[in-house]
Amino acid sequence: MLLGPPGAGKGTQAQVIADRLGVPAISTGDIFRANVSGRTELGLQAKSYMDAGDLVPDEITVAMVKDRLAEDDAKGGFLLDGFPRTIAQAEQLRDSLHELGQALDCVLELVVDEDELVRRLSGRRVLVDGQWVQRDDDKPETVRHRLQVYREQTAPLSGWYDSEGLLTQIGAIGAVEEVTERAMSALETCGGARPDGPSAG
């Protein structure tokens, strides 16, 4: 799984790394945005939280991820991007994976300082229906709020996964390809380096 603040490049790296590993990249942000554009019930529930830069409530998010992880293409492994984002989500993820006979092998944290994050997010444009637009939640006030939410609710996961022996941190400043190479070398060692294997603990 990829951990890191908004703007760290998780989405970009998730696509490339998942391709290289031959597993699906599961991004809760992408699933929410697809549901918002498709005007589904889930999209309607999530939209106001996303627009405000707040987290979508755990029960909605966890149920959605559980369904996704139960799909066939996730049986041989998967890469999580943007989930979990709270300790409660992490606990429920561990339990769901246990039920599926799986466990996380590795948590990669993308480390970027906050000035760089603000620069990246306020300059970010995404392609929607052939047009480059600013995501509503990339507006400066919302960006500051998302970073605060990250510090308060998500950053504690770093210590949590470190104490489980799963965490590797990599610097995520530099060219996309350089960061991918750092990520791939980190992945080679982290999962296999634990003597008791993924199901221990």
Q: Which two tokens stand for residue 98?
A: 């246990």
> Judged by CB under 6 A, does residue 1 bind ligand ADP?
no
DSSP state of 126: E
Question: Which of residues 127 and 196 has its CB atom nearest to ligand ADP in the complex?
Answer: 127
Q: Which helix (H) or strand (E) holds 58?
A: helix 58-69
Distance from C-alpha of 94 to C-alpha of 9, rounded to nearest angstrom: 24
Residue from 36, 42, 55, 93 touching ligand ADP (CB under 6 A): that is 55
Where do we find the tokens 């990246």? 120
Block residue for tokens 């995404």: 126
144 has catalytic annotation? no
* Least spacing, CB of residue 174 vs ligand ADP, in Å: 19
CB 50 within 8 A of CB 36: yes
66 annotated active-site: no
Active site residue 68: no
Among residue numbers 59 through 118, which ones bind ligand ADP (CB under 6 A)?
61, 82-85, 89
Q: Using CB under 6 A, list all residues that contact ligand ADP.
A: 6-7, 10, 28-29, 32, 49-50, 53-56, 61, 82-85, 89, 137, 146
